[in-house]
Amino acid sequence: MLGVNQGVGKYVNVTGYPRIAYDKRDQPIYCRAKTARQSKYQVRMDCSGFYGGTSGSPWLLKYNGKTHTGYINGVIGGYQGGGNTHWRSFSPYFDNDVNVLRSAADKRA
């Protein structure tokens, strides 16, 4: 499910898989972080370890650990290619345009 027009200042759960060149443990990383506004169409979250390879990692809003469900509220990408440091990541802001895009894709599927 998509979480659109949810604003900022919300906690998201993010899991990513950094390239082994950046993280020799060769395992996924996890973070729960609060979102903040970066610009009109970009949001950010601060969490260490999100090196190259984690682009596209979903930001799950209202994640339920028992049912393993939540709302996709963002993905690492956008501003600065998702971030130029491992401790701050960015996502496009999910607004009504995301619903329009999804609807168009569903019609073509």
Summarised one tens digit per residue, pLDDT across range 82-106 is 678 889 999 999 999 999 999 999 9
Give the pLDDT confidence score for residue 109 in this predicted structure. Answer: 82
**Residue 54 pLDDT > 80, yes or no?**
yes
Beta strands in 26-68 (DSSP E): 29-34, 36-39, 42-46, 58-64
Dmax (CA) of the chain:
42
**Residue 9 pLDDT > 80, yes or no?**
yes
Which is more confident, 42 or 81?
A: 42
**Residue 78 pLDDT > 80, yes or no?**
no
Give the pLDDT confidence score for residue 37 in this predicted structure. Answer: 97
Environment class of 60 (CB within 10 Å of its CB; exposed 0-12, middle 13-18, buried 19+):
buried
This model's pTM is above 0.85: yes
